[in-house]
Amino acid sequence: QQPVQSPQAVILREGEDAVINCSSSKALYSVHWYRQKHGEAPVFLMILLKGGEQKGHDKISASFNEKKQQSSLYLTASQLSYSGTYFCGTEIKNNYGQNFVFGPGTRLSVLP
């Protein structure tokens, strides 16, 4: 049930772009993106709801294709502060309809 993320890790130079993908074998109702820096708690980036939505925050944007059951996170002109592990997450329907599962994460390293 866990979403699949690719790549597992990526190394960039400052100013370069990156794409992180998230896909699921189950129907996706929404996709959440979080970033976690080493030794810290995950921090929310954005939520995408079904409908082909695309969102952006500064130079980080994401798309959600519910038919393909996948989402992509786009990091443009990466900054040193973008380094960390990125997790996608999604809802799993159950008794209360509010279970949640994260992908294994993509480690991003931005070098000067």
Partner 1 sequence: NAGVTQTPKFQVLKTGQSMTLQCAQDMNHEYMSWYRQDPGMGLRLIHYSVGAGITDQGEVPNGYNVSRSTTEDFPLRLLSAAPSQTSVYFCASSYSGSINEQFFGPGTRLTVL
Residues binding partner 1 (CB under 8 A): 1-2, 30, 32, 34, 40-44, 47, 87, 89, 91, 94-105
Q: In terms of CB distance, is 13 or 96 closer to partner 1?
A: 96
CB of 42 to partner 1, least distance (A): 5
Helix (H, G, I), strand (E, B) or coil at 80: helix
Q: Are 104 and 24 in contact (CB under 8 A)?
A: no
For residue 67, CA distances in Å to 18, 22, 26, 83, 105 come to 23, 13, 11, 30, 22
CB of 112 to partner 1, least distance (A): 27
Q: In terms of CB distance, is 51 or 112 closer to partner 1?
A: 51
Cα 11 from Cα 111, distance rounded (Å):
7
Q: Are 100 and 92 in contact (CB under 8 A)?
A: yes
Q: In terms of CB distance, is 43 or 77 closer to partner 1?
A: 43
Q: In terms of CB distance, is 8 or 13 closer to partner 1?
A: 8
CB of 54 to partner 1, least distance (A): 18
Provide the token pair at 29.
Answer: 């109702």
